[in-house]
Chains A and B, each alone.
Chain A
Amino acid sequence: MSKFELNRRSLIKSGAAIGAGLALPTIFTSSARAYLNEPKGSTVTLGFNVPQTGPYAEEGLDELRAQELAVQHLNGEGDGGMINTFSSKALKGNGILGKKVQFVTGDTQTKSDAARASAKSMIEKDGAIMINGGSSSGVAVAVQGLCQEAGVIFMAGLTHANDTTGKDRKANGFRHFFNAYMSGAALAPVLAKEYGNERRAYHLTADYNWGWTQQESIQKATEALGWQTVENVLTPLASTDFSSYIAPVLNSGADVLVLNHYGGNMVNSLTNAIQFGLLDKMVDGKQFEIVVPLYSELMAAGAGANVRGVFGSMNWNWQLQDEGSKAFVKSFGEKYGRPPSNSAHTCYVQTLLYADACERAGTFDPCGVVEALEGFEFDGLGNGPTLYRAEDHQCFKDVLVMKGKENPTNEYDTLEIVEVTPVEQVTYPPNHPMFGGDEATLGTCNSGA
């Protein structure tokens, strides 16, 4: 082996050689693009960031199914689903702006950190231009913030806290899903009609951000109709057994229990409440009732027979009979053999809305997309006429009030639609105090250039 000698002279020589070698093929790709991850080839990449492990894994799986379906429909495969019923006719089934749609997937683990890591890898490694999905508000706010900083569009999945389009609203983030305020506004009149105006409510609230906004919303809405609030008890998120919170309810004089819980918390607290026989009790001559403000099909399935007769609200349900919903349920059901959940629906619709906005804007530039989505009015995607409000990037559309079905005929038939609350009833001003008041701003759109 030859002896490798290192001296000043050879070092300078080799240094220069390496420098020249590096300089030759150098293309500083970042400067060659007008905006972050501008698709240059014949494809465009979307990032689907959903929980694949942890308690919401099933929810995430359903979102992923819908997203894959949306990509198929965008690329002109399958029966086209809601593209046929969508009021905007910009989508032609040839991808987006003529580019074939590809997607990458990631696991949020329902943790802000992991979700951001996963979204970052999609943006940095895979060149994703839009991030979609998720099933918790903490994650949605975290990922929305990331997309704003990085300069891509975030199309939120299931996120129900007021903050997502309230004090944490961002110019690059859009929410199709409804929120806690809307749940309260839609539910309260139905509850007053069914149970009367003279009710005393006992709230159990998951002790974190979403729980508080949900509780505040439903308390305001029910108190406006004459209900009283006996107590609001915060329960730790990590609780699995709610017996010690439920046991005192009966002796508190309350005649309605409101469970501001979601996911595993809700399944367990509702199951526990039924165990204590609350629904069989009479308080001052009134039948005791339980309310679950936010329902999902998967939670209803987890709670089984316990949901019977319990009221709640939803963004969308597969039993809706409009053309858009029927088309979506048909193509989803034929592909996967099951009806889609409302989180699947919102992810599917968000993907179509993004693609449509790109087509109408004629560019993937996030700022162009933001402009195309702001104030966009559309129909045919399942919730009737809908507005993407420019001030806070929240969709305004009808909200469903649901009730646990008494005699389900099959495993997917757990809930029934009680009322479709018209959009006017759930609309609020963009500077509503529950949504950050006058201080909340979207900021400016960021294209990452």
Chain B
Amino acid sequence: MLGLSKKDTTFLLIVIILTLATPILLQPFPENSALAQFNAGYPDLMQRFAIFGIFAIGFNILFGLTGYLSFGHAAFLGVGSYSVVWMYKLLSYNVVPGLILAIVVSGLFALLIGYISLRRSGIYFSILTLAFAQMSFNLAYSVLTPLTNGETGLQVYLNDPQVLMDESSPTSPHFFGIVMNESVKLDVGGWLFTFSNGYYFCAIIAIIVFYLSMRIFRSPFGIMLRAIKTNQTRMNYTGLNPRPYTLAAFVISGMYAGLAGGLLAAMDPLAGAERMQWTASGEVVLMTILGGAGTLMGPVLGAGFIKYFENIFSKINDNILHTWFAALPDGIEDAIVFLIHPFIGKGWHLTLGLMFMLVVIFLPGGLIEGGSRIWNAVTGKNRRKKHDAEHHPKPAPHVS
């Protein structure tokens, strides 16, 4: 179906079902229960899962396939956001013109940066992309303020032209009248599910671009990209010039990033310069590696993992801990709260850092490997299958 093999079609169908059912799946605990803190099924976070999923899928097309590690992809994220907000300011709150502009502008921007940066490889390439992104960020924060509104972030003011707006137009981002921040809440026996327009808008786009990335992975173009990763010299010898392929991959992944940035602004009409900072570029690198670079689903998992920690763990405070362990005797309760305290709330970074280390130490292929190990353990496959050679290279002969 759709030019995919049977296995891939099944995979895509599973992904579609999971994506559409996310508002239910991420709300496993009833409202008012102590564990409701861990529910992630509210619109903003689900939207972020989908959007950063798109960002990571795009990044993976470059990094996972070609091995070129860009440290400046946040620049495209920022450009995408600014494009969308500018379209709000000039035309109206309809997200479509903005998203199209976001993809086009980020594509052009990626073409320019990619054309220059791809003259070098390895870490030299990484630093070139980093340099471009940091320049964009620093300028957006200061000198380019008329264009970006600097630190405050670009937003819509009442006196903006908005030439396509009339009396009946919605006053917040919408897709031909479907307002993004509206949602339907469903109360089923204590469980509260929120079906948000914005989430489904992102989710459908995410499914489409996931399908596209699947096609890219399976296409001759994708194989060519993998060849670049494996051995560029050999590719040169066979008379193929790898540069156009890598540039194409760079531009495609830049457009993915621009789309993700545009969607961020489509969900929330504000574009801040921090989106272009190196920390944001680093974040997508971490998401991809954490989930499993080069795999289709891994980067999405990585994105979800990091965003979950950022939004859920940072909100747990001592009061909540005390309510969880209130049943225990006072002394033990205090001791447990004291022990957990450094890892939650303001300490959520610590937990995240530890998780990075644990995942990379014990799951060399990323979260996706964890998933497949569990799957194999359930289905009993692991007894037959040898460990993946790529992830466990043979140790070099030890001489001493």
Contacts and interface: CB of A to CB of B under 8 A. Distances in A.
Interface of A: 22, 25-30, 52-53, 57, 60-61, 103-107, 111-114, 116-118, 120-122, 124-125, 137-138, 141-142, 145-146, 149-150, 163, 167-168, 207-210, 234, 236-238, 439, 441, 443
A327 B145 CA distance: 44
Most buried by B among A121, A142, A441: A121
B187 A117 contact: no
B364 to A, nearest CB: 29
Given A22-B186, A52-B346, A117 B151 contact: no
Nearest to A29: B185
Interface in B38-80: 39, 42-45, 48
A-B pairs, top 9 by smallest CB distance, nearest first, are A52-B346, A112-B272, A120-B44, A208-B151, A138-B151, A107-B314, A125-B42, A207-B142, A124-B42
B44 A145 contact: no
B150 A209 contact: yes
A320 to B, nearest CB: 29
A107 B158 contact: no
B184 interface: yes
A352 B181 CA distance: 30
B274 to A, nearest CB: 5
Nearest to A211: B151
B250 interface: no
Size category of the B interface is 35 or more
B183 A30 contact: yes
Contacts of B169: none
A112 B315 contact: no
Interface of B: 39, 42-45, 48, 138, 141-142, 145, 150-153, 155, 157-159, 172, 181, 183-189, 192, 194, 264, 268-270, 272, 274-275, 310-311, 314-315, 317, 319, 345-346, 348-349
Nearest to A168: B152
Contacts of A208: 141-142, 150-151
A29 B268 CA distance: 23
- What DSSP secondary structure best describes chain A's contact surface? helix
5 contacts: A107-B346, A117-B44, A124-B43, A208-B151, A209-B151
Given A26-B187, A52-B345, A104-B315, A237 B141 contact: yes
Given A26-B186, A137-B152, A142-B272, A149 B181 contact: yes
A207 B150 CA distance: 9
A121 B153 contact: no
A186 to B, nearest CB: 24
B14 to A, nearest CB: 17
B226 to A, nearest CB: 34
A116 B315 contact: no
A25 B189 CA distance: 7
A125 B142 contact: no
Contacts of B268: 116, 120, 146
A28 B184 contact: yes
Contacts of B153: 112, 138, 141-142
Contacts of A210: 151
A53 B349 contact: yes
Contacts of B186: 22, 26-28
